[in-house]
Amino acid sequence: MVNHLALIEEKLNRISVQFNQPESKNHHLVFSLFSFSLFLCLYVMGILWRKSNNQHLQNEGLQKKLNELEIKLERMSQGFEDEKSKMIRTLQDEWNNRSERIQEDFRDKFTALDSRFHSFENEKFRTIDTLRGELTNQSKQIQDFESRLTIFNDSFHPKDGQVDWNKITRKPTTISGYGITDFKGFIGRDGYQEFSSGLIMQWGFAITEMNGETKIKFPTEFPSSCLGIHGTHSGGGPAIVMELGGSRSKTEVTLRTFNHSGDTDRGWHIHWLAIGH
């Protein structure tokens, strides 16, 4: 800026020298003033243009910096997008890996559970078959026991239905003590008893006649036959009681009693026992 003022001042001095001649002093003075004004205007215009140029350069610099900043921002944005995409891909890969591991672990657990379930089902069926077999055997045993119990009950021919087990005493000494009261029989000096098998036992007391014979009438008739009879002499000496051949029937029999000498007599006491059905 100082150099430009010196140049202008030098030019103005040259013009002033030329116009300092006497014949043209007035003209030169006006021209000098005009020239000074002109140069002054040009100088001001140059300064303004320079400032405008500097402002334009500054604007260009700012625009350049803005462009650079936009480029940096775009690069940063692109880098951020790349990083974001990379992170998303990483997360997706990790999620897929975890999902595969979870699915594989779930399949393994499901397979193990399914295997245990089938094993349990097989064991359950085997247990059920075993229990069913045991129940079948127990059922057969129960049926066999019920059948035998039915046969046992039916063999007594109870008058009023089943045997009344409540009538059984703790220490029975007779048949009735077992709750068996419907068998035919009579208990006395002469008596009889029928059993479930159909066997009939009869007993009694008799006295011999002069010929040693004793005709015995059974307390009850044997439905089929008398199988045998046994007699015992009750007295002070030895004697033999025998059945008179051909005298046995379903209702009576004849016994003969004699001593060791073959003698007979009246009034000898005889106890007898007959069995038949």
Fold of 183-276: Immunoglobulin-like (2.60.40)
- CA pair distance 75, 82, nearest whole angstrom: 10
Average pLDDT rounded to a whole number, residues 184-211: 91
- For 58-81, the pLDDT digits (tens) are 777 777 888 888 888 788 777 777
Task: Return the biggest CA–CA distance within the chain.
Answer: 234
State residue 103's pLDDT score: 78
- For 219-262, the pLDDT digits (tens) are 999 999 999 999 998 888 888 898 988 899 999 999 999 888 88
State residue 81's pLDDT score: 77
- CA pair distance 37, 35, nearest whole angstrom: 5
- CA pair distance 40, 5, nearest whole angstrom: 10
Flag whether pLDDT at 28 surpasses 50. Answer: yes
Average pLDDT rounded to a whole number, residues 78-99: 81
State residue 168's pLDDT score: 53
State residue 272's pLDDT score: 94
What tokens does 2 get?
Answer: 């100082």
State residue 102's pLDDT score: 81
- CA pair distance 178, 34, nearest whole angstrom: 171
What tokens does 209 get?
Answer: 């006649």
State residue 1's pLDDT score: 45
pTM above 0.75, yes or no: no
